[in-house]
Structures are given as structure tokens and as C-alpha cells.
Amino acid sequence: MDFFEDYFKQIGQKLNSTDVKNLNKVINLILNVDKKGKKVIIAGNGGSAAIASHISVDLTKSAKIRSTNFNEADLITCFANDYGYERWLEEAIESFADRHDAVILISSSGQSKNIINAAKKAKKMGLGVVTLSGFDRNNPLRQIGDINFWVDSRVYNIVESVHNIWLSAIVDRLTKALKCKS
């Protein structure tokens, strides 16, 4: 089989195995957050940080749901300098999150210490926690969230592509739902 045929087949298989019930749970979580006038915080590292930025902007602009991410270099370097890289994100969540906010945390491997620590902090604060991960089925991040998505792949770009599609679909569904209410 051709590389590209196999590659796209893999992505298709991952998407076709999506637990749609979990997607709907995220929709309900975000709608409840919005109803309370709160926000969605989205974070990741590297490519996952880029996905977090994209989805955060789309939630705010297209779905009219307040969302933010922590991808400002000055914020990251300030908090990492003071608390260490493994703890900067949990400290940012403690500083910026409000009661009834939701947090979406993305880590392809599910092993990123800063993302795991942020998930633990968000849970401790009583925030709704959604995780997206890949690689090992029993990765630590997948064990923490209220709603957990996992891609059965060890290929970063396949995992990140599926994460991006799931989150984009959530935004599109929210946008459609909110337009129907208008």
C-alpha cells in the first residue's frame, strides 16, 4: 500500500472509532460552562499548543464561547522561571481559572509532566477536565480527566491530527447549536 493511502487510512480508522458519547459530553460541559458565564481553558505543548490556540480562538469567535490558552511566551517563561517547567501550567491555572471553568488538556503521549500536573490541579479546584492523549492506553493523563479521549497510535502527527479534528468538530457542533438558538 502507498504511504499516503496507509497514512490516511490510519487517520480514518482512528476517527471511525471515536466515542461520540464523549464528544457529546464535552458539548454539554462547554454549554454548561457558557451558561454560567465562565470560560474554557485549553493547553498543550508544541503541536498540541498550536491546536489549543486554534481551538480557543474558534470557540471564542465562531461559537461565541469564552476561551483562552496560555501560549504567550512571557507567561510561560515567567511561570516556568518561578515554578519550574513541570509546574508552570498548574500555577497558571490556579492564577487564571475561576469556579465552574473547564480545562481541556492535550498531550500526544499523555506523559507530559506539566500537563499531568495541570490536570491534577484543575481536578483539585473542581474544574471540568477533558484530556486528549495517545500512545499508551494507560498513560497517566488519561487516568485523570472527567472526559478522556485517546488515540491508539504512537505517531505524533496522526495523534495530533485526530485531536485537532475532534476539537474542531466540537467547535462546529457548538457553533451550529448556538446558531439554531438565535
Closest C-alpha to 40, from 32, 165, 48: 32
Strand partners, 107: 133
What mean pLDDT comes out for the span 129-144?
Answer: 97
Domain boundaries, the chain: 3-181
Contact 103, 43 (CB under 8 A): yes
CATH number for region 3-181: 3.40.50.10490
Q: Is the pLDDT of residue 31 over 60?
A: yes
Give dist(CA 61, CA 8) in Å, integer: 30
pLDDT band at 112 (very low <50, low <70, confident <90, very high): very high
What mean pLDDT comes out for the span 85-114?
Answer: 98
pLDDT band at 148 (very low <50, low <70, confident <90, very high): very high
